[in-house]
Amino acid sequence: MMKQKNHCITPKPITFELIEEILEEKRKLVLSEESILLINKSKQYLDQKLSESEDPIYGINTGFGALCDREISKSDLSKLQENLVVSHACNIGDEIPSNVVRIMLLLKAHALAKGNSAVQLITVQRIIDLFNEDILPEVFEQGSLGASGDLAPLAMLFLPLLGLGTVNYKGKKVSAQKVLKEKKWEPIRLEAKEGLALLNGTQFMSSHGVYTLLKSFKIVKYSDIIGALSLDCYDGLIEPFMAQVQEIRPHKGQIETARNFRHILDGSEIIGREKLHVQDPYSFRCIPQVHGAVKDAVDYIAGVVETEINSVTDNPTVFPDDDLIISGGNFHGEPLALTLDYLAIALAELASISERRTYRLISGERNLPEFLVANQGLNSGFMIPQYAAASIVSQNKQLCTPASVDSIPSSNEQEDHVSMGGNAATKALKVANNVLKVLAIELYNATQALEFRRPAKTSPYLEEFVKEYRTVVKFVEEDTLMYEGINDTVGFLDRGKFIQ
Protein backbone atom coordinates (compact mmCIF):
# COMPACT_ATOMS: atom_id res chain seq x y z
CA MET A 1 0.00 0.00 0.00
CA MET A 2 1.33 3.45 -0.97
CA LYS A 3 2.22 5.60 2.02
CA GLN A 4 0.03 8.69 2.34
CA LYS A 5 1.83 11.88 1.41
CA ASN A 6 1.91 14.62 4.06
CA HIS A 7 1.92 18.37 3.61
CA CYS A 8 4.64 20.09 5.61
CA ILE A 9 3.58 23.54 6.82
CA THR A 10 6.35 26.09 6.33
CA PRO A 11 6.40 29.90 5.99
CA LYS A 12 6.55 29.40 2.20
CA PRO A 13 3.50 30.40 0.12
CA ILE A 14 0.64 27.97 -0.35
CA THR A 15 -1.18 27.73 -3.72
CA PHE A 16 -4.63 26.81 -5.00
CA GLU A 17 -3.22 23.72 -6.66
CA LEU A 18 -1.63 22.59 -3.41
CA ILE A 19 -4.81 23.17 -1.39
CA GLU A 20 -6.80 21.15 -3.92
CA GLU A 21 -4.26 18.32 -3.72
CA ILE A 22 -4.34 18.34 0.09
CA LEU A 23 -8.14 18.05 0.05
CA GLU A 24 -8.47 15.50 -2.75
CA GLU A 25 -5.62 13.28 -1.58
CA LYS A 26 -6.63 13.63 2.09
CA ARG A 27 -3.09 14.60 3.02
CA LYS A 28 -2.13 14.99 6.67
CA LEU A 29 -0.54 18.21 7.91
CA VAL A 30 2.76 18.36 9.78
CA LEU A 31 4.67 21.37 11.10
CA SER A 32 8.16 21.96 9.74
CA GLU A 33 11.05 22.51 12.13
CA GLU A 34 11.31 26.05 10.76
CA SER A 35 7.71 26.83 11.69
CA ILE A 36 8.08 25.24 15.13
CA LEU A 37 11.05 27.52 15.81
CA LEU A 38 9.15 30.60 14.60
CA ILE A 39 6.08 29.78 16.70
CA ASN A 40 8.14 29.24 19.84
CA LYS A 41 10.25 32.34 19.22
CA SER A 42 7.23 34.67 18.98
CA LYS A 43 5.59 33.11 22.06
CA GLN A 44 8.77 33.44 24.13
CA TYR A 45 9.15 37.05 23.02
CA LEU A 46 5.63 37.95 24.15
CA ASP A 47 6.02 36.15 27.49
CA GLN A 48 9.23 38.06 28.13
CA LYS A 49 7.57 41.38 27.28
CA LEU A 50 4.73 40.71 29.69
CA SER A 51 7.11 39.76 32.48
CA GLU A 52 9.24 42.89 32.03
CA SER A 53 6.55 45.53 31.51
CA GLU A 54 3.23 46.67 32.97
CA ASP A 55 2.39 48.74 29.89
CA PRO A 56 -1.01 48.05 28.30
CA ILE A 57 -0.87 45.99 25.10
CA TYR A 58 -4.17 45.80 23.21
CA GLY A 59 -6.02 42.52 23.58
CA ILE A 60 -3.24 40.97 25.63
CA ASN A 61 -3.66 42.75 28.95
CA THR A 62 -6.58 44.97 27.94
CA GLY A 63 -10.19 44.40 26.96
CA PHE A 64 -11.31 44.11 23.33
CA GLY A 65 -12.86 46.50 20.83
CA ALA A 66 -14.46 49.43 22.61
CA LEU A 67 -13.17 47.96 25.91
CA CYS A 68 -9.55 48.44 24.85
CA ASP A 69 -8.94 50.92 27.68
CA ARG A 70 -9.82 48.40 30.42
CA GLU A 71 -6.64 46.88 31.84
CA ILE A 72 -6.64 43.23 32.85
CA SER A 73 -4.60 41.74 35.70
CA LYS A 74 -1.95 39.14 34.89
CA SER A 75 -3.85 36.51 36.85
CA ASP A 76 -6.84 36.93 34.47
CA LEU A 77 -5.02 36.88 31.13
CA SER A 78 -5.93 33.27 30.35
CA LYS A 79 -9.58 33.77 31.38
CA LEU A 80 -9.70 36.89 29.19
CA GLN A 81 -8.79 34.86 26.11
CA GLU A 82 -11.19 32.04 26.92
CA ASN A 83 -14.01 34.55 27.50
CA LEU A 84 -13.23 36.11 24.11
CA VAL A 85 -13.77 32.83 22.26
CA VAL A 86 -16.91 31.93 24.21
CA SER A 87 -18.56 35.36 23.94
CA HIS A 88 -17.84 35.70 20.21
CA ALA A 89 -19.26 32.29 19.24
CA CYS A 90 -22.57 33.62 17.92
CA ASN A 91 -22.28 32.38 14.35
CA ILE A 92 -25.71 31.34 12.97
CA GLY A 93 -27.56 30.35 9.79
CA ASP A 94 -26.91 27.47 7.41
CA GLU A 95 -23.86 25.29 7.95
CA ILE A 96 -21.01 25.95 5.52
CA PRO A 97 -19.52 23.17 3.31
CA SER A 98 -17.17 20.76 5.06
CA ASN A 99 -14.32 21.54 2.66
CA VAL A 100 -14.56 25.23 3.54
CA VAL A 101 -14.11 24.26 7.21
CA ARG A 102 -11.10 22.13 6.27
CA ILE A 103 -9.58 25.05 4.36
CA MET A 104 -10.19 27.36 7.34
CA LEU A 105 -8.25 25.02 9.63
CA LEU A 106 -5.45 24.69 7.08
CA LEU A 107 -5.15 28.43 6.44
CA LYS A 108 -5.22 29.36 10.12
CA ALA A 109 -2.48 26.83 10.91
CA HIS A 110 -0.49 28.15 7.96
CA ALA A 111 -0.84 31.78 9.16
CA LEU A 112 0.01 31.04 12.81
CA ALA A 113 3.08 29.07 11.70
CA LYS A 114 4.67 32.24 10.29
CA GLY A 115 5.65 33.32 13.81
CA ASN A 116 3.93 36.71 14.13
CA SER A 117 1.07 35.61 16.36
CA ALA A 118 2.69 34.57 19.68
CA VAL A 119 0.62 31.44 20.25
CA GLN A 120 1.54 28.21 21.99
CA LEU A 121 2.87 25.41 19.85
CA ILE A 122 0.23 23.08 21.31
CA THR A 123 -2.52 25.40 20.04
CA VAL A 124 -1.31 25.20 16.43
CA GLN A 125 -0.78 21.45 16.79
CA ARG A 126 -4.35 20.95 18.02
CA ILE A 127 -5.70 22.83 14.99
CA ILE A 128 -3.65 20.45 12.83
CA ASP A 129 -5.00 17.50 14.84
CA LEU A 130 -8.57 18.57 14.06
CA PHE A 131 -7.71 18.70 10.36
CA ASN A 132 -5.84 15.39 10.31
CA GLU A 133 -8.50 13.49 12.26
CA ASP A 134 -11.28 15.09 10.16
CA ILE A 135 -12.92 16.52 13.26
CA LEU A 136 -14.77 19.45 11.72
CA PRO A 137 -16.28 22.12 13.98
CA GLU A 138 -19.74 23.41 13.15
CA VAL A 139 -19.41 26.74 11.36
CA PHE A 140 -22.34 28.69 9.92
CA GLU A 141 -22.84 31.32 7.22
CA GLN A 142 -23.92 34.36 9.18
CA GLY A 143 -22.30 36.62 11.74
CA SER A 144 -19.08 38.01 10.27
CA LEU A 145 -18.69 41.70 9.47
CA GLY A 146 -15.38 40.92 7.77
CA ALA A 147 -13.61 43.70 9.62
CA SER A 148 -12.12 42.75 12.97
CA GLY A 149 -11.48 39.47 11.26
CA ASP A 150 -14.16 36.81 10.88
CA LEU A 151 -14.81 36.89 14.61
CA ALA A 152 -18.02 34.85 14.97
CA PRO A 153 -17.25 31.99 12.55
CA LEU A 154 -13.65 31.70 13.77
CA ALA A 155 -14.91 31.54 17.36
CA MET A 156 -17.12 28.63 16.33
CA LEU A 157 -14.18 27.00 14.56
CA PHE A 158 -12.04 27.08 17.69
CA LEU A 159 -14.57 26.33 20.44
CA PRO A 160 -13.50 22.65 20.28
CA LEU A 161 -9.98 23.62 21.36
CA LEU A 162 -11.57 24.48 24.70
CA GLY A 163 -13.71 21.34 24.72
CA LEU A 164 -16.81 23.35 23.78
CA GLY A 165 -19.22 23.35 20.85
CA THR A 166 -20.19 20.66 18.36
CA VAL A 167 -18.16 18.91 15.68
CA ASN A 168 -18.89 16.75 12.65
CA TYR A 169 -17.02 13.49 13.23
CA LYS A 170 -17.39 10.11 11.51
CA GLY A 171 -20.63 11.21 9.88
CA LYS A 172 -22.29 12.39 13.09
CA LYS A 173 -22.67 15.57 15.11
CA VAL A 174 -20.90 15.06 18.40
CA SER A 175 -20.01 17.31 21.32
CA ALA A 176 -16.40 18.46 21.19
CA GLN A 177 -16.02 17.44 24.81
CA LYS A 178 -16.88 13.84 23.93
CA VAL A 179 -14.40 13.74 21.02
CA LEU A 180 -11.59 15.20 23.14
CA LYS A 181 -12.25 12.55 25.75
CA GLU A 182 -12.17 9.81 23.10
CA LYS A 183 -8.85 11.14 21.73
CA LYS A 184 -7.46 11.62 25.24
CA TRP A 185 -6.80 15.29 24.48
CA GLU A 186 -6.90 17.88 27.24
CA PRO A 187 -8.69 21.16 26.42
CA ILE A 188 -6.25 23.92 25.49
CA ARG A 189 -5.69 26.50 28.22
CA LEU A 190 -5.35 29.66 26.17
CA GLU A 191 -2.59 32.03 27.19
CA ALA A 192 -2.06 35.75 26.57
CA LYS A 193 -3.18 36.90 23.11
CA GLU A 194 -4.17 33.44 21.87
CA GLY A 195 -7.91 34.08 21.69
CA LEU A 196 -7.26 37.13 19.57
CA ALA A 197 -4.82 35.25 17.35
CA LEU A 198 -7.48 32.62 16.70
CA LEU A 199 -10.44 34.97 16.15
CA ASN A 200 -8.77 37.88 14.37
CA GLY A 201 -8.12 36.82 10.81
CA THR A 202 -9.79 36.53 7.43
CA GLN A 203 -9.91 32.74 7.14
CA PHE A 204 -13.73 32.52 6.79
CA MET A 205 -13.68 34.94 3.86
CA SER A 206 -10.48 33.64 2.29
CA SER A 207 -11.47 29.97 2.63
CA HIS A 208 -14.74 30.69 0.86
CA GLY A 209 -12.68 32.55 -1.73
CA VAL A 210 -10.40 29.54 -2.27
CA TYR A 211 -13.30 27.09 -2.41
CA THR A 212 -15.28 29.26 -4.83
CA LEU A 213 -12.25 29.90 -7.03
CA LEU A 214 -11.51 26.17 -7.27
CA LYS A 215 -15.08 25.82 -8.57
CA SER A 216 -14.61 28.85 -10.80
CA PHE A 217 -11.50 27.44 -12.49
CA LYS A 218 -13.63 24.45 -13.50
CA ILE A 219 -16.64 26.59 -14.44
CA VAL A 220 -14.71 28.76 -16.92
CA LYS A 221 -13.44 25.62 -18.67
CA TYR A 222 -16.93 24.12 -18.82
CA SER A 223 -18.29 27.39 -20.20
CA ASP A 224 -16.01 27.07 -23.23
CA ILE A 225 -16.70 23.36 -23.78
CA ILE A 226 -20.46 23.67 -23.43
CA GLY A 227 -20.55 26.97 -25.34
CA ALA A 228 -18.63 25.36 -28.21
CA LEU A 229 -21.09 22.46 -28.33
CA SER A 230 -24.02 24.88 -28.39
CA LEU A 231 -22.37 26.94 -31.13
CA ASP A 232 -21.98 23.86 -33.30
CA CYS A 233 -25.48 22.56 -32.63
CA TYR A 234 -26.89 26.01 -33.45
CA ASP A 235 -25.01 25.79 -36.76
CA GLY A 236 -22.96 28.80 -35.75
CA LEU A 237 -20.01 30.51 -37.39
CA ILE A 238 -16.35 30.03 -36.49
CA GLU A 239 -15.21 33.35 -37.97
CA PRO A 240 -15.72 35.42 -34.77
CA PHE A 241 -13.24 33.06 -33.07
CA MET A 242 -10.46 33.52 -35.60
CA ALA A 243 -7.13 34.74 -34.24
CA GLN A 244 -7.06 37.92 -36.34
CA VAL A 245 -10.18 39.29 -34.61
CA GLN A 246 -8.63 38.84 -31.17
CA GLU A 247 -5.22 40.23 -32.13
CA ILE A 248 -6.65 43.69 -32.79
CA ARG A 249 -8.25 43.71 -29.30
CA PRO A 250 -5.68 41.68 -27.40
CA HIS A 251 -7.24 41.04 -24.02
CA LYS A 252 -5.64 37.91 -22.62
CA GLY A 253 -8.88 36.11 -21.77
CA GLN A 254 -10.44 36.93 -25.14
CA ILE A 255 -7.44 35.50 -27.00
CA GLU A 256 -7.47 32.39 -24.80
CA THR A 257 -11.21 31.82 -25.27
CA ALA A 258 -11.09 32.07 -29.06
CA ARG A 259 -8.10 29.72 -29.14
CA ASN A 260 -9.99 27.24 -26.93
CA PHE A 261 -12.99 27.27 -29.28
CA ARG A 262 -10.83 26.70 -32.35
CA HIS A 263 -9.19 23.78 -30.58
CA ILE A 264 -12.41 22.27 -29.20
CA LEU A 265 -14.20 22.52 -32.57
CA ASP A 266 -11.28 21.34 -34.67
CA GLY A 267 -12.46 18.63 -37.09
CA SER A 268 -16.21 19.29 -36.70
CA GLU A 269 -18.25 18.49 -39.82
CA ILE A 270 -20.95 20.91 -38.70
CA ILE A 271 -18.77 23.97 -38.09
CA GLY A 272 -16.93 23.41 -41.37
CA ARG A 273 -19.93 23.24 -43.67
CA GLU A 274 -21.22 26.15 -45.75
CA LYS A 275 -23.63 28.44 -43.91
CA LEU A 276 -26.71 30.23 -45.18
CA HIS A 277 -26.46 32.97 -42.55
CA VAL A 278 -23.76 35.63 -42.16
CA GLN A 279 -24.07 36.47 -38.45
CA ASP A 280 -24.90 34.81 -35.13
CA PRO A 281 -26.63 36.40 -32.12
CA TYR A 282 -24.34 38.02 -29.56
CA SER A 283 -24.67 35.07 -27.15
CA PHE A 284 -22.64 33.09 -29.70
CA ARG A 285 -20.72 35.73 -31.65
CA CYS A 286 -19.43 37.57 -28.55
CA ILE A 287 -18.37 34.52 -26.53
CA PRO A 288 -14.65 35.44 -26.77
CA GLN A 289 -15.36 38.89 -25.39
CA VAL A 290 -17.68 37.75 -22.57
CA HIS A 291 -16.02 34.50 -21.51
CA GLY A 292 -12.65 36.19 -21.93
CA ALA A 293 -13.52 39.10 -19.65
CA VAL A 294 -14.68 36.63 -16.99
CA LYS A 295 -11.40 34.70 -17.26
CA ASP A 296 -9.44 37.93 -16.78
CA ALA A 297 -11.56 38.78 -13.74
CA VAL A 298 -11.07 35.33 -12.20
CA ASP A 299 -7.30 35.55 -12.75
CA TYR A 300 -7.17 38.93 -11.01
CA ILE A 301 -9.31 37.75 -8.10
CA ALA A 302 -7.20 34.61 -7.71
CA GLY A 303 -4.12 36.81 -7.36
CA VAL A 304 -5.71 38.82 -4.54
CA VAL A 305 -6.91 35.71 -2.71
CA GLU A 306 -3.54 33.99 -3.07
CA THR A 307 -1.87 37.01 -1.48
CA GLU A 308 -4.41 36.89 1.35
CA ILE A 309 -4.02 33.20 2.17
CA ASN A 310 -0.27 33.72 2.51
CA SER A 311 -0.65 36.70 4.86
CA VAL A 312 -0.76 37.19 8.63
CA THR A 313 -4.15 38.74 9.41
CA ASP A 314 -4.56 38.56 13.18
CA ASN A 315 -3.94 41.46 15.58
CA PRO A 316 -1.83 42.62 17.32
CA THR A 317 1.16 41.16 15.52
CA VAL A 318 4.56 40.58 17.05
CA PHE A 319 7.93 41.16 15.41
CA PRO A 320 10.55 39.61 17.74
CA ASP A 321 13.53 40.61 15.59
CA ASP A 322 12.39 44.26 15.61
CA ASP A 323 11.26 44.22 19.25
CA LEU A 324 7.81 45.39 18.21
CA ILE A 325 4.20 44.55 19.06
CA ILE A 326 1.91 46.48 16.71
CA SER A 327 -1.86 46.83 16.80
CA GLY A 328 -2.84 47.35 13.17
CA GLY A 329 -5.64 46.44 10.80
CA ASN A 330 -4.58 43.41 8.76
CA PHE A 331 -7.82 41.70 9.80
CA HIS A 332 -9.90 44.12 7.71
CA GLY A 333 -11.49 42.23 4.83
CA GLU A 334 -11.75 45.02 2.25
CA PRO A 335 -9.44 43.35 -0.32
CA LEU A 336 -11.55 40.20 -0.15
CA ALA A 337 -14.92 41.93 0.05
CA LEU A 338 -14.32 43.90 -3.14
CA THR A 339 -12.88 40.99 -5.09
CA LEU A 340 -15.47 38.44 -3.97
CA ASP A 341 -18.23 40.84 -5.03
CA TYR A 342 -16.41 41.09 -8.36
CA LEU A 343 -16.18 37.28 -8.58
CA ALA A 344 -19.93 36.91 -8.13
CA ILE A 345 -20.61 39.52 -10.83
CA ALA A 346 -18.14 37.94 -13.27
CA LEU A 347 -19.42 34.39 -12.80
CA ALA A 348 -23.02 35.54 -13.11
CA GLU A 349 -22.25 36.73 -16.64
CA LEU A 350 -21.36 33.18 -17.67
CA ALA A 351 -24.81 32.05 -16.55
CA SER A 352 -26.49 35.02 -18.22
CA ILE A 353 -24.99 34.34 -21.66
CA SER A 354 -25.45 30.58 -21.22
CA GLU A 355 -29.19 30.94 -20.64
CA ARG A 356 -29.49 32.96 -23.86
CA ARG A 357 -27.75 30.20 -25.83
CA THR A 358 -30.16 27.68 -24.29
CA TYR A 359 -33.07 29.82 -25.40
CA ARG A 360 -31.75 29.94 -28.96
CA LEU A 361 -31.45 26.17 -29.09
CA ILE A 362 -35.14 25.65 -28.18
CA SER A 363 -36.54 28.54 -30.24
CA GLY A 364 -37.06 26.56 -33.46
CA GLU A 365 -34.36 28.42 -35.40
CA ARG A 366 -31.95 26.97 -38.00
CA ASN A 367 -33.83 23.74 -38.62
CA LEU A 368 -33.92 22.65 -34.98
CA PRO A 369 -37.40 21.60 -33.75
CA GLU A 370 -39.09 23.87 -31.23
CA PHE A 371 -38.22 22.78 -27.69
CA LEU A 372 -35.93 20.09 -29.15
CA VAL A 373 -38.61 17.40 -29.31
CA ALA A 374 -39.93 15.59 -32.37
CA ASN A 375 -43.59 15.21 -31.41
CA GLN A 376 -44.48 18.76 -30.37
CA GLY A 377 -47.77 19.54 -28.67
CA LEU A 378 -48.08 16.12 -27.14
CA ASN A 379 -44.62 16.70 -25.68
CA SER A 380 -43.38 19.97 -24.15
CA GLY A 381 -39.79 18.82 -24.51
CA PHE A 382 -37.14 21.25 -23.30
CA MET A 383 -39.53 24.17 -22.72
CA ILE A 384 -39.28 24.33 -18.94
CA PRO A 385 -35.55 23.78 -18.29
CA GLN A 386 -35.06 27.19 -19.90
CA TYR A 387 -37.54 28.61 -17.37
CA ALA A 388 -35.41 27.15 -14.59
CA ALA A 389 -32.26 28.68 -16.09
CA ALA A 390 -33.98 32.07 -16.39
CA SER A 391 -35.08 31.90 -12.75
CA ILE A 392 -31.55 31.10 -11.58
CA VAL A 393 -30.04 33.88 -13.72
CA SER A 394 -32.50 36.32 -12.15
CA GLN A 395 -31.59 35.12 -8.66
CA ASN A 396 -27.91 35.65 -9.48
CA LYS A 397 -28.66 39.27 -10.35
CA GLN A 398 -30.13 39.73 -6.88
CA LEU A 399 -27.16 38.00 -5.25
CA CYS A 400 -24.75 40.24 -7.17
CA THR A 401 -25.78 43.37 -5.30
CA PRO A 402 -22.37 44.25 -3.77
CA ALA A 403 -21.91 43.56 -0.07
CA SER A 404 -18.76 45.68 0.06
CA VAL A 405 -20.59 48.99 -0.43
CA ASP A 406 -22.30 48.52 2.93
CA SER A 407 -20.95 49.18 6.41
CA ILE A 408 -22.67 49.12 9.80
CA PRO A 409 -20.55 50.38 12.75
CA SER A 410 -20.07 48.01 15.67
CA SER A 411 -18.42 47.79 19.09
CA ASN A 412 -19.65 51.20 20.22
CA GLU A 413 -18.22 52.82 17.05
CA GLN A 414 -14.68 51.55 17.70
CA GLU A 415 -15.12 49.37 14.62
CA ASP A 416 -16.74 52.15 12.63
CA HIS A 417 -16.07 50.85 9.11
CA VAL A 418 -16.50 47.19 8.22
CA SER A 419 -16.08 45.34 4.91
CA MET A 420 -19.04 42.93 4.97
CA GLY A 421 -16.66 40.51 3.28
CA GLY A 422 -18.29 37.53 4.99
CA ASN A 423 -21.51 38.24 3.13
CA ALA A 424 -19.60 38.80 -0.11
CA ALA A 425 -17.92 35.42 0.39
CA THR A 426 -21.07 33.39 0.99
CA LYS A 427 -22.90 35.13 -1.88
CA ALA A 428 -20.08 34.41 -4.32
CA LEU A 429 -20.27 30.70 -3.51
CA LYS A 430 -24.05 30.69 -4.05
CA VAL A 431 -23.56 32.35 -7.44
CA ALA A 432 -20.89 29.83 -8.46
CA ASN A 433 -23.21 26.94 -7.57
CA ASN A 434 -25.99 28.60 -9.56
CA VAL A 435 -23.76 29.07 -12.60
CA LEU A 436 -22.95 25.37 -12.66
CA LYS A 437 -26.69 24.61 -12.72
CA VAL A 438 -27.30 26.97 -15.64
CA LEU A 439 -24.39 25.47 -17.59
CA ALA A 440 -25.79 22.01 -16.86
CA ILE A 441 -29.13 23.06 -18.37
CA GLU A 442 -27.31 24.36 -21.46
CA LEU A 443 -25.42 21.05 -21.79
CA TYR A 444 -28.65 19.10 -21.40
CA ASN A 445 -30.15 21.13 -24.27
CA ALA A 446 -27.06 21.14 -26.49
CA THR A 447 -26.60 17.36 -26.41
CA GLN A 448 -30.29 16.99 -27.29
CA ALA A 449 -29.90 19.43 -30.19
CA LEU A 450 -26.89 17.52 -31.48
CA GLU A 451 -29.04 14.45 -32.20
CA PHE A 452 -31.13 16.54 -34.58
CA ARG A 453 -27.97 17.32 -36.58
CA ARG A 454 -27.20 13.67 -37.20
CA PRO A 455 -25.71 12.03 -39.16
CA ALA A 456 -23.35 15.04 -39.18
CA LYS A 457 -20.75 14.96 -36.43
CA THR A 458 -19.27 17.62 -34.22
CA SER A 459 -15.54 17.60 -33.42
CA PRO A 460 -13.76 14.48 -32.14
CA TYR A 461 -13.19 16.24 -28.82
CA LEU A 462 -16.88 17.06 -28.36
CA GLU A 463 -18.05 13.67 -29.64
CA GLU A 464 -15.95 12.05 -26.91
CA PHE A 465 -17.28 14.51 -24.33
CA VAL A 466 -20.89 13.79 -25.34
CA LYS A 467 -20.24 10.02 -25.34
CA GLU A 468 -19.06 10.28 -21.73
CA TYR A 469 -22.08 12.41 -20.84
CA ARG A 470 -24.47 9.93 -22.39
CA THR A 471 -23.36 7.30 -19.88
CA VAL A 472 -25.09 9.50 -17.29
CA VAL A 473 -27.92 11.29 -19.14
CA LYS A 474 -29.81 9.78 -22.09
CA PHE A 475 -31.45 11.42 -25.13
CA VAL A 476 -35.02 12.51 -24.38
CA GLU A 477 -37.45 10.71 -26.72
CA GLU A 478 -40.63 11.94 -25.02
CA ASP A 479 -41.55 13.95 -21.95
CA THR A 480 -39.79 12.76 -18.83
CA LEU A 481 -38.83 14.05 -15.39
CA MET A 482 -36.55 16.87 -16.52
CA TYR A 483 -35.29 17.71 -13.03
CA GLU A 484 -33.63 14.30 -12.90
CA GLY A 485 -31.73 15.04 -16.12
CA ILE A 486 -30.68 18.46 -14.85
CA ASN A 487 -29.49 17.12 -11.48
CA ASP A 488 -27.64 14.25 -13.14
CA THR A 489 -25.96 16.76 -15.46
CA VAL A 490 -24.90 18.92 -12.51
CA GLY A 491 -23.43 15.81 -10.90
CA PHE A 492 -21.61 14.92 -14.13
CA LEU A 493 -20.00 18.36 -14.27
CA ASP A 494 -19.25 18.48 -10.55
CA ARG A 495 -17.41 15.16 -10.64
CA GLY A 496 -15.72 15.46 -14.00
CA LYS A 497 -12.27 16.60 -14.98
CA PHE A 498 -11.94 17.38 -18.67
CA ILE A 499 -8.85 18.59 -20.47
CA GLN A 500 -9.09 21.29 -23.13
Question: Which sequence positions are flagged as catalytic?
Answer: 58
Which residues lie across from 62 on neighbouring strands? 71
User: Each residue of 233-249: b (16+ CB within 10 Å) or e?
Assistant: bbbbbbebbeeeebeee
Cα Rg of the chain, angstroms:
26
Three-state secondary structure call for residue 432:
helix
The backbone region for 170, taken as left when phi is positive above 0, alpha when psi lies in -120 to 50, beta otherwise, is left
Longest dimension (CA), the chain: 87
Burial of 34 (0-12, 13-18, 19+ CB in 10 A): middle
d(C-alpha 188, C-alpha 194), whole Å: 10
DSSP 315: S
Tell me how far apart the alpha carbons of residues 13 and 29 are, in angstroms, rounded to a whole number.
15
| CA-closest candidate to residue 121, choices 35, 218, 192 | 35
Neighbours of 141 (CB within 10 A): 22
